[in-house]
Structure 1
């Protein structure tokens, strides 16, 4: 399991780290190991709490999505439904747009796609 946490460390490096730990901590080594174990256990408990919270949020989202994607039942609108305004109806205060009428170009009938200057200039 320790190799999974520290993948680049071989057995020889582990022995050296162990010897350094004994030299540095000596008598306090059991206390250090105990506090390290408590820290790791607390980290795991906190991490599992976060995972549980994420799972509960995912469950809430899936139940909300499944309840909001109900098929259309075709029920008639109720009296409390707001009135829908027709935004496409013309406004009587706005004048109606009339495009300008222009005389056709004299060469419009004779212009072709191969004419280099179809409008005579």
Structure 2
């Protein structure tokens, strides 16, 4: 786990107990709460980016559709409105 051997993890645990003693559960609870809050904020940021990406792709597809419609309208407006001239035979 995290590249630590069992002996190193045991040493870290002993040091934590010596430093924090009886308040170790409170310290762990605060660390867990901070981690949970950080995770929630990261999820919120990800949701905002996904929403922005969705809006951007939606706007781009709308622009493509509207440009196709404009191109079709331009093609129709370039066609002559009078009948084609045919010379007499």
Fold shared by both chains (TM-score > 0.5):
yes
Give the gaps of 5 or more residues in structure 2: 75-89
Residue 37 (structure 1) aligned to one of 28, 32, 37: 32
Residue 74 (structure 1) aligned to one of 65, 72, 75: 72
| Larger RCO, structures 1/2 (Cα 8 Å, 6+ apart) | 2
Q: Partners of 1:35 and 1:49 in 2: how far apart? A: 21
Aligned position for 2:86: none
Summarize deviations over 1:78-106 as a string: whole Å, max 9, x none: xxxxxxxxxxxxxxxxxxxxxxxxxxxxx
Aligned position for 1:59: 54
Larger Rg: 1
2:54 matched to 1:24?
Answer: no
Give the gaps of 5 or more residues in structure 1: 77-121
Q: Partners of 2:27 and 2:35 in 1: how far apart? A: 12
| Runs of 4 or more above 4 Å deviation | none
Corresponding pairs, count: 71
After superposition, the CA RMSD in angstroms is 1.4
Summarize deviations over 1:1-53 as a string: whole Å, max 9, x none: xx3xxx33222211111110001000111110110110010010111011111
Task: Point out the structure with the larger helix share.
Answer: 2
TM (normalized to structure 1)?
0.54
TM (normalized to structure 2)?
0.72
Q: Partners of 2:62 and 2:10 in 1: how far apart? A: 58
